[in-house]
């Protein structure tokens, strides 16, 4: 079999993995300007390496070609020098990695806020108990029954929003209000498809009425600065604001209409 | 003699079928619900219905920690947990094997290829010891429930007394049919008798399915109680309690998963036999068996994500609280682990197929394409894996300006994952298609057209899946978002079915390029380890999903009705659960190895000259 | 190496990898512990809180203010803590109490032991009280709740609180049981009327209450639908001469469907 000279398989593998790694970093961090979280990149690379290994080893020839240099390195007497160097460098690298990852740093611990904490089955607000499983927006029905009235309600909701919410959540509902920069976690971006569009109105009602302090323990640390709006707004007003949130962003609340 | 035998079997079979049809009448709920339906139809008088159920039931008890017996040094929850999980693993395996044994036996009958029959027999042989272990573990589970959770057991058994009794009786039927099926295998051969045997297989599957459905009803009752009022007072209608909201979704999901699981376990068995085979014939046989087991596992694995998605959607529909607890709350991270495991499943199944290309020289044509498949499969998997909540360091948070990632955020929600999983399935199927064609070339005149059509089909289908996923997933409201997953699935299924049909016709009488060598030396040991990985990942994954299914009830025995007040009422954290699952997996694996070992010693014989007294004749 | 060992080690490594990833690869979230069940936690209560509880029960669940108000339907209780010991020496007193606390408790469960002049059922010459036993029937207060109301009454009348906070409360007697959950169904309309003390206010079934409409011929005046509504939503329509908000509107949750129908049938039959 005549074979033209090409890059050894092992080097190919290393180059492919490195290329993909740099590709991720380049795409996310440089081109798109949205850094890729390190934790995620680690897992991504783990599976990329698994995939690459699979491709490189599924035929017998290719697998042999891949393992060949490694085998030779360990067994071939003529490669004594290289072997010694590798056997010194690899443990050293492992040691450096271990040292770096165990070294205490001044970095604050990673925060794990759950974006959608599970709601309780019922919630106490306005001195009443609301069953979140069955709670519905009393005004939602007007959307079909009486569009004019619905429109008026949405407008009222919009006014309430501008008076109360836009300082943080922004006048375009994108979570970029004048005060947003000072807050961590940042105010919710309602335009994002992953926020209110994923939720039922009862969930949104719960989050508005009881605010940050009403978050369950599992969403901790609840450093959310969302106020407890039941102290400032009436039940009706909250429902109207919710209508406005969905109407303005053009989203529909999650619902389960069973055909 | 011959004739008498068959008459006996026919009689027995008839009785068995008859008994099966009688069974529903043993379940009082069946009658009660029908009677109830009749009465309400005739008269809408409230009192009559109330009188019909004159028996009044107690509400769900309110327990204190003192109501839970304990044995010092024994964690009662972990005991029940492990017993239930082990029972479920064995149960799944034992129920699944007859399903594909039945199919393989039928294939054998149709093709008159005895290898199929032998393989089917070997499968059922493996499962027969596992069967008694299933029963023993079921007993252990019942005992530990009665011992550690007596009030829960009492409460459930007042509601399900009829079905529990029917369950016990069905177990007898199952055992009887299984033993006849297995021990009669070599006796019931040829012509009519083979048909009788096949019917027995069908009967075995019917009983097995019924057993599982009943047990599922008890499980789902605890998640979506029905037939009881808010205080847990049972209304007397057993059928309503059985036919609760999540019953059928769970039935479907478990049925499919069982087959995939059974396939993977049998695959591990074949792989082990392959690795330790000495002769060429044995290697060939077990290579072939492993391939078939993997095929079964993949075939069932492909629709499994859809069944799982359906079950989850129904949970969401049943209760938003349950749904968000499952997907967004404490358990959100479990789905990342699940993604890793499912990734392991798909990757190892694909890897096994690719390695299988080495069985024929003709496959060299296709090996270069595999890397493109790998790119799509790994890529789709990475999307499937991306979590909704990202773990961000402070520096990353600052750089992003908040916890929301403009690109990865949208990849974290369902539409992206649905799209990814459909691609994953399609390309796994493609791997299989390449494998199928490895040693053949189509000779029909329209082969080029056929290929072009298939390529067009795949292209159009993939575009459709993308449009459905991206447009309907992100730019419309949630009703469509959820609904869009259905046409996506349909697209995938249409592509798979159409391609198979085209392929069957196109490769009819196809020319063999190079023969397929089962068990040749080019079938590497590596590929067999892929089968082990499949089995281990599957077992672990089932354990994990069992934990989460049970865990979303949180501190309730029966959700929102019967509170768990035991000291162990808290939901265990993921790491702890993972450790329990790992211990369970190891116990299960050891037991499975024991079962496999038993099936090998039954054929061994030691000759001991001079041990036994010579019999003077 | 033996194949078996290899496979076993491979499998263990895989299991270990999964477990390791679950433990160290992903953030560990400890699920919140189960919420504490809402119940009377008397052990941790101060006397002020206990009095506040009594206040809540007096104005809420106990339905006391339906009659003990300025309308003169029943005696005012703002001085009861100080006047009660006078009652003990009254010749008309029929009970067995020896101190104020016992007297008050007795008047909760056996109201007829002493009837304040002018407040008895008509025709009984103040020997029988129209007040129902608050520990049973539709009100169903537990001992702890009665004690809390006694503490409240002593507090508002400015006397010393002699009640001690009960420490061990049986599980029964909580809110849920009294609202029809665990109660055995009643067999007849008369039993319902007796159980729920309808006769305290209404003239019905041999009882002679006067605060609500006379029901002796109600069937001739009202149809079943009207009666049903009057039971479920008493304030929907008030008969002339009677006050709104007098009759408890909780029977809808206390009566079972069957009991309600039985009662409606019975009332409709009174012609």
Q: In angstroms, what separates the C-alpha of B449 from chain A's closest C-alpha? A: 30
The pLDDT, as a whole number, for residue C38 is 52
Lowest mean pLDDT among B258-272, B284-298, B419-433, B472-486: B472-486
Instruction: State the DSSP H helix or E strand holding residue C154, giving kind and residue range, or none if neither.
Output: helix C143-156
Tell me where in chain C the CATH 1.10.760.10 domain(s) lie. Answer: 189-268
* Minimum Cα–Cα distance from A131: chain B residue: B321
The string of pLDDT tens digits covering residues A16-32 is 999 999 999 998 888 88
The range of the structural domain enclosing residue A38 comes to 9-102
Interface B–C counts its CB contacts (< 8 A) at 100
- Which residues in chain A are closer than 8 Å to B410, comparing Cβ atoms? 193-194
Could you tell me the pLDDT band of residue C171, with boundaries at 50, 70 and 90? very low
pLDDT for residue B476: 64
Taking an 8 Å cut-off on Cβ atoms, the answer to whether C29 and A112 are in contact is: yes
The pLDDT assigned to B477 comes to 58
Q: Residue B608: its pLDDT value, please?
A: 76
pTM for the model: 0.71
Count Cβ–Cβ pairs < 8 Å, chain A vs chain B: 175
- Give B35's pLDDT tier (boundaries 50, 70, 90): very low
pLDDT for C221: 81
Dihedral sign from CA coordinates of B359, B365, B371, B373: negative
- pLDDT of amino acid B17: 54
Question: Which subunits count as partners of chain A given 3+ CB pairs below 8 Å?
Answer: B, C
Residue B252 reports pLDDT greater than 90: yes
Residue range A224-228: average pLDDT? 84
Test mutation, C3, C22, C262, chain B, max B CBs within 10 A: C22
Question: Percent of chain B at pLDDT above 70?
Answer: 88
In 3-state terms, what secondary structure has residue B448?
Answer: helix
Question: Same domain for A126 and A97?
Answer: no
Residue closest to C136 by CA, chosen among C94, C100, C172: C172
Please give the pLDDT value at position B136: 92
Query: What mean pLDDT do residues A204-230 have?
Result: 78
Q: Cα distance from C32 to chain A (closest Cα, Å)?
A: 6
Tell me which residues of chain C have a C-beta less than 8 Å from any C-beta of chain A: 25, 27, 29-33
Q: Which of A74, A102, A130 is the last residue of a domain?
A: A102
Nearest chain B CA: its distance from A81 CA (Å): 31
* Tokens (6 digits) for A33: 């300007």
% residues pLDDT > 70 (chain C): 83
Q: B475, B335, B358: which is closest to B410 by C-alpha?
A: B475
The residue-averaged pLDDT of C230-259 equals 77
pLDDT digits (tens, 9 = 90+) for B511-550: 887 778 887 777 788 889 999 999 999 999 999 999 998 8
In this structure, what DSSP letter does residue B572 have?
P
| Shortest Cα–Cα distance, A189 to chain B (Å) | 9
C139 has a pLDDT exceeding 80? no
Q: How confident is the model at residue C124 (pLDDT cuts 50, 70, 90)?
A: confident
Tell whether B198 lies on the interface with A, counting CB pairs under 8 A.
Answer: no
B440 three-state secondary structure: strand
ipTM exceeds 0.95, yes or no: no
Contacts with C8 from chain B: Cβ below 8 Å: 593
Q: Are residues A145 and A244 in the same domain?
A: yes
Q: How far B536 CA lies from chain C's nearest CA (Å)?
A: 7
d(CA B340, CA C135): 60
The arithmetic mean of pLDDT across residues B449-461, rounded, is 89
Is the pLDDT assigned to residue B89 strictly greater than 90? yes
Give how far C225 is from chain A: nearest CA, Å: 29
Question: What are the pLDDT digits (tens) for C193-230?
Answer: 877 777 777 888 777 767 778 888 888 888 888 888 88
Report B:399-428 residues touching A (Cβ under 8 A): 399-410, 412-413
C-alpha count within 13 angstroms, C-beta hemisphere, residue B124:
26
Assigned CATH topology for domain C189-268: Cytochrome Bc1 Complex; Chain D, domain 2 (1.10.760)
pLDDT score at B145: 92
Asked if residue C109 lies in contact with residue C133, where contact means CB atoms within 8 angstroms, the answer is yes
pLDDT by residue (tens digit) across C182-191?
Answer: 566 777 888 8
| CA-wise closest residue to B387 among B405, B403, B411 | B411
Residue A111 lies in a domain: no
Q: Does C85 or C149 have the greater pLDDT score?
A: C149
pLDDT of C15 higher than 70: yes
Which whole number is the average pLDDT over C87-95?
A: 80
Instruction: Determine if the peptide bond prior to B469 is cis (ω within 30°).
Output: no
How close does chain C come to A222, measured CA to CA in Å? 13
The closest CB to that of B522, out of A60, A108, A257, belongs to: A60
Of these ranges, B56-70, B384-398, C76-90, the one predicted with the greatest mean pLDDT is B56-70
Q: What residues of A are in contact with residue C30 (Cβ under 8 Å)?
A: 218
Task: Tell me what pLDDT residue B26 has.
Answer: 46
Query: Is residue A115 in some structural domain?
Result: no
Which chain B residue lies closest to C179 (C-alpha atoms)? B231
Report residue A36 CA to chain centroid gap: 11
Show the tokens assigned to B283.
């290697």
Are C32 and A218 a contacting pair at CB < 8 A?
yes
Which of C9, C26, C228 to mutate to test binding with chain B, by most B CBs within 10 Å of its CB? Answer: C26
Residue B228, beta-bridge partner list = B234
- Which range has highest mean pLDDT (A55-59, A143-147, C19-23)? C19-23
By Cβ distance, the residue of A38, A59, A218 closest to B329 is A218
Tens digit of each residue's pLDDT (9 = 90 or more) over A69-121: 888 888 888 888 888 898 899 999 999 999 988 888 777 766 666 666 777 77
Is it the case that residue A255 has pLDDT exceeding 80?
A: no
Chain C residues touching B589 at Cβ < 8 A = 11, 15
- C-alpha distances in Å from residue B455, one per residue of B542, C15, C205: 36, 40, 87
Q: Inform me whether the C-beta atom of residue B583 falls under 8 Å from chain C C-beta atoms.
A: no
In 3D space, the residue among B128, B214, B134 whose CA is nearest the CA of residue B178 turns out to be B128
Is B501 a residue whose pLDDT tops 80?
A: yes
The count of domains in chain A is: 2
Same domain, A143 and A240: yes
Contact present, B418 and B469 (Cβ < 8 Å)? yes
Least confident of B24-33, B255-264, B335-344, C199-208: B24-33
Q: Do A108 and B403 touch (CB under 8 A)?
A: no
CA C16 – CA C4 distance, rounded (Å): 18
Residue of C nearest to B528 (CA): C7
C neighbour chains, 3+ CB pairs within 8 Å: A, B
**Of all residues in chain C, what percent carry a pLDDT higher than 90?**
4
Residues A127 and A97 in one domain: no
The CA distance from C58 to C151, in Å, is 11
Is the pLDDT score of B474 beyond 50?
Answer: yes
Residue B46, CA distances (Å) to B42, B231, C64 in order? 12, 21, 35
Q: Flag whether pLDDT at C163 surpasses 90.
A: no
Q: Do C258 and B50 touch (CB under 8 A)?
A: yes
Two structure tokens written together for B236: 């007397």
What pLDDT does residue C183 have?
Answer: 62
Q: How confident is the model at residue B32 (pLDDT cuts 50, 70, 90)?
A: very low
Adjacent-strand bridge partners of B441: B511
> Are C205 and C190 within 8 A, CB to CB?
yes
For residue A125, list its beta bridge partners: A128
Secondary structure in 3-state letters for chain A: CCCCCCCCHHHHHHHHHHHHHHHHHHHHHHHCCCCCCHHHHHHHHHHHHHHHHHHHHCCHHHHHHHHHHHHHHHHCHHHHHHHHHHHHHHHHHHHHHHHHHHCCCCCCCCECCCCCCCCCCEEEECCEEEECCCCCCCCCCHHHHCHHHHHHHHHHHHHHHHHHCHHHHCCCCCCCCCCHHHCCCCCCCCCCCCCHHHCCHHHHHHHHHHCHHHCCHHHCCCCCCCCCHHHCCCHHHHHHHHHHHHHHHCCCCCCCCCC
- B window 321-350, beta carbon within 8 A of A: 321, 324-325, 327-330, 332, 340, 343, 347, 350
- Asked if A133 and A163 sit in the same domain, the reply is yes
Q: How confident is the model at residue B263, as a pLDDT?
A: 92
Give the mean pLDDT of chain A.
Answer: 82
Looking at the fold, whether A90 and A161 belong to one and the same domain comes out as: no
Dist CA B439 CA B441 (whole Å) = 7
Q: What percent of chain B has pLDDT over 90?
A: 30
**Most confident of the following: A43-52, B360-369, C218-227:** A43-52
Cβ-defined contact of B391 to C27 (cutoff 8 Å)? yes
A120: left (phi over 0), alpha (psi -120 to 50) or beta: beta
Spatial separation of the C-alpha atoms in residues C133 and B286, rounded to whole Å: 82
The predicted pLDDT at position B40 comes to: 39
- Range in A154-168, B48-62, B288-302, B367-381 with the lowest mean pLDDT: B48-62
What DSSP designation does B392 have?
A: B
Residue B575 at interface with chain A, using a CB cutoff of 8 Å:
no
Portion 184-243 of B in contact with C at CB < 8 A: 231
Interchain contact, A218 vs C31, CB within 8 Å:
yes
Instruction: Tell me if A43 and C29 make a contact (CB, 8 A cut-off).
Output: no
DSSP state of A198: G
pLDDT score recorded for residue B260: 92
Closest CA of chain C from A217, distance in Å:
6
Fold of C46-181: Cytochrome Bc1 Complex; Chain D, domain 2 (1.10.760)
Q: What is the CATH number of the domain that holds A131?
A: 1.10.760
Tokens of C7: 């496979």
pLDDT digits (tens, 9 = 90+) for B92-131: 999 999 998 999 999 888 888 888 898 899 888 888 888 8
Residue A1: list chain B partners with CB under 8 A.
Answer: none
Helix, strand, coil shares, percent, chain B, to 5: 75, 0, 20
Asked whether the predicted pLDDT for residue A134 surpasses 80, the reply is no
Q: Are residues A97 and A126 in the same domain?
A: no
Q: How confident is the model at residue C173 (pLDDT cuts 50, 70, 90)?
A: very low
> Considering only CB atoms, which chain B residues are within 8 Å of A114?
328-330, 332, 389
In terms of Cα–Cα distance, which of C185, C146, C139 is closest to C163?
Answer: C146
**Domain assignment of residue A231, yes or no:** yes
Give the confidence band of B14 by pLDDT, cuts at 50, 70, 90: low
Q: Which of B321, B354, B396 sits opposite A37 (nearest CB)?
A: B396
pLDDT at B15 over 80: no
pLDDT at position B480 is 64
Query: Tell me, what's the pLDDT at B37?
Result: 40
B31 band by pLDDT with thresholds 50, 70 and 90 = very low
pLDDT of residue C175: 41
B225 has pLDDT over 70: yes
Q: Look up tokens 């865990």; give the residue.
A: B551
Give the separation between CA B343 and CA B591, rounded to whole angstroms.
Answer: 26
* Residue B310, pLDDT above cutoff 90: no
Residue to mutate among C22, C32, C33, with most A CBs inside 10 A, is: C32
- Whole-number mean pLDDT of chain B? 83
């Amino acid at each position: 079999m005549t074979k033209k000279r090409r890059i050894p398989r092992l080097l190919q593998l290393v180059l492919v993995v490195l290329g993909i790694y740099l590709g991720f970093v380049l795409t996310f961090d440089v081109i798109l300007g949205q850094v890729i979280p390190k934790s995620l990149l680690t897992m991504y690379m783990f599976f990329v390496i698994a995939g690459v290994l699979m491709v490189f080893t599924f035929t017998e020839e290719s697998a042999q070609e891949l393992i060949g240099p490694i085998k030779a390195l360990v067994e071939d007497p003529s490669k004594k020098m290289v072997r010694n160097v590798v056997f010194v460098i690899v443990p050293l690298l492992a040691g450096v990695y271990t040292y770096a990852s165990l070294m205490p740093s001044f970095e604050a611990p990673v925060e794990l806020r759950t974006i959608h904490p599970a709601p309780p089955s019922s919630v106490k607000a306005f001195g009443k108990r609301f069953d979140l499983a069955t709670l519905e927006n009393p005004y939602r029905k007007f959307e079909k029954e009486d569009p004019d009235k619905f429109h008026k309600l949405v407008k009222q909701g919009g006014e309430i929003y501008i008076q109360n919410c836009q300082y943080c959540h922004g006048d375009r509902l994108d979570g970029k209000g004048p005060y947003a920069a000072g807050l961590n976690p940042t105010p919710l971006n309602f335009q994002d498809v992953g926020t209110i569009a994923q939720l039922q109105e009862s969930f949104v009602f719960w989050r508005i009425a009881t605010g940050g302090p009403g978050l369950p323990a599992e969403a901790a640390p609840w450093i959310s600065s969302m106020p407890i709006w039941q102290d400032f707004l009436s039940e009706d007003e909250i429902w109207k604001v919710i209508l406005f949130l969905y109407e303005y962003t053009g989203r529909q609340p999650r619902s389960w209409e069973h055909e | 003699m011959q004739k008498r035998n068959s008459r006996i079997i026919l009689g027995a079979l008839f009785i068995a079928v008859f008994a099966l049809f009688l069974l529903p009448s043993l379940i009082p709920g069946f009658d009660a619900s029908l009677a109830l339906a009749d009465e309400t139809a005739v008269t809408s008088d409230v009192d009559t219905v109330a009188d019909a159920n004159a028996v009044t039931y107690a509400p769900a008890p309110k327990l204190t920690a003192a109501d839970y017996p304990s044995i010092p040094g024994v964690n009662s929850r972990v005991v029940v947990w492990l017993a239930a999980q082990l029972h479920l693993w064995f149960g799944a395996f034992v129920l699944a094997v007859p399903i594909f044994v039945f199919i393989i036996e039928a294939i054998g009958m149709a093709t008159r290829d005895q290898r199929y029959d032998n393989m089917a027999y070997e499968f059922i042989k493996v499962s027969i010891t596992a069967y008694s272990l299933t029963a023993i573990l079921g007993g252990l589970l019942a005992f530990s429930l009665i011992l550690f959770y007596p009030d829960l057991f009492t409460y459930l058994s007042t509601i399900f007394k009829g079905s529990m009794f029917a369950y016990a009786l069905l177990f007898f039927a199952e055992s009887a049919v299984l033993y006849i099926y297995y021990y009669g295998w070599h006796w019931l051969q040829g012509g009519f008798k083979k048909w009788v045997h096949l019917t027995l297989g069908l009967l075995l599957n019917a009983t097995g399915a019924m057993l599982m459905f009943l047990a599922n009803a008890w499980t789902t009752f605890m998640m979506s109680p029905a037939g009881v009022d808010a205080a847990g007072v049972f209304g007397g209608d057993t059928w309503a309690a059985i036919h609760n909201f999540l019953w059928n979704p769970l039935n479907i999901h478990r049925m499919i998963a069982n087959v995939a699981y059974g396939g993977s376990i049998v695959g591990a068995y074949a792989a082990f036999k392959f690795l330790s085979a000495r002769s060429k014939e044995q290697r060939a046989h077990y290579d072939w068996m492993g391939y078939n087991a993997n095929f079964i596992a993949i075939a069932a694995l492909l629709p499994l994500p859809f069944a799982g998605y359906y079950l989850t959607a129904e949970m969401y529909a049943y209760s938003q609280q349950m749904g968000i607890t499952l997907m967004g709350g404490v358990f959100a991270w479990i789905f990342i682990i699940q993604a890793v495991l499912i990734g392991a499943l798909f990757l190892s199944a694909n890897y096994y197929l690719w390695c299988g290309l080495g069985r024929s020289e003709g496959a060299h044509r296709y090996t270069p394409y595999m890397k493109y498949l790998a790119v799509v499969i790994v890529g789709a998997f990475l999307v499937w894996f991306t979590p909704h909540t990202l773990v961000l360091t402070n520096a990353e948070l600052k750089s992003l300006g908040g916890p929301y990632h403009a690109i990865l955020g949208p990849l974290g929600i369902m539409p992206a994952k649905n799209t990814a999983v459909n691609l994953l399935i399609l390309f796994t199927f493609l791997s299989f298609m390449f494998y199928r064609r490895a040693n053949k070339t189509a000779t029909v005149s329209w082969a080029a057209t056929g290929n072009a059509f298939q390529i067009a089909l795949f292209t159009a289908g993939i575009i459709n899946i993308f449009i459905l996923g991206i447009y309907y997933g992100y730019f419309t409201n949630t009703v469509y978002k959820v609904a869009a997953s259905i046409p996506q699935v349909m697209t995938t299924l249409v592509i798979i079915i159409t391609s198979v049909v085209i392929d069957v016709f196109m490769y009819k009488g196809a020319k063999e390029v190079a023969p397929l060598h089962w068990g040749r030396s080019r079938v590497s040991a590596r590929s067999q380890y892929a089968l082990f990985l499949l089995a281990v990942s599957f077992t672990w994954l089932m354990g994990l999903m069992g934990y989460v299914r049970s865990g979303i009830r949180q501190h309730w025995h029966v959700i929102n009705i019967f509170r768990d007040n035991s000291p162990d009422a808290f939901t265990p954290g993921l790491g702890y659960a993972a450790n329990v699952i790992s211990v369970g997996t190891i116990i299960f694996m050891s037991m499975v190895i024991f079962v496999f070992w038993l099936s090998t010693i039954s054929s061994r014989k030691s000759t001991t000259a001079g041990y036994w007294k010579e019999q003077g004749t | 190496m033996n194949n078996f060992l290899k496979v076993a080690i491979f499998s263990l490594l895989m299991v270990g990898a999964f477990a390791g990833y679950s433990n160290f690869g992903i953030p560990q979230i400890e699920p919140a512990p189960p919420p504490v069940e809402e119940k009377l936690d008397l052990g941790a209560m101060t006397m002020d809180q206990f009095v506040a509880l009594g206040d809540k029960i007096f104005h809420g669940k106990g339905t006391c203010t339906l009659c003990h108000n300025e309308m003169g339907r029943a005696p005012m209780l703002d001085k009861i803590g100080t006047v009660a010991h006078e009652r003990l020496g009254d010749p008309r007193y029929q009970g067995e109490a020896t101190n104020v606390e016992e007297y008050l408790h007795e008047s909760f469960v056996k109201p007829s032991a002493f009837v304040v002049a002018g407040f008895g059922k008509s025709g009984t010459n103040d020997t029988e009280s129209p007040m129902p036993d608050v520990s049973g029937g539709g009100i169903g207060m537990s001992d702890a709740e009665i004690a809390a109301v006694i503490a409240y009454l002593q507090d508002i009348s400015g006397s010393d609180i002699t009640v001690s906070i009960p420490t061990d409360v049986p599980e029964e007697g909580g809110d849920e049981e009294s609202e029809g959950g665990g109660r055995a169904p009643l067999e007849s309309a008369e039993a319902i009327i007796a159980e729920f003390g309808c006769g305290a206010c209404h003239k019905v079934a041999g009882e002679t209450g006067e605060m609500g409409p006379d029901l002796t011929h109600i069937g001739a005046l009202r149809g079943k639908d009207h009666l049903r509504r009057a039971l479920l939503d008493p304030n929907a329509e008030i008969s002339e001469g009677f006050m709104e908000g007098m009759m408890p509107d909780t029977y809808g949750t206390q009566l079972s469907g069957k009991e309600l129908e039985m009662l409606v049938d019975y009332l409709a039959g009174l012609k």
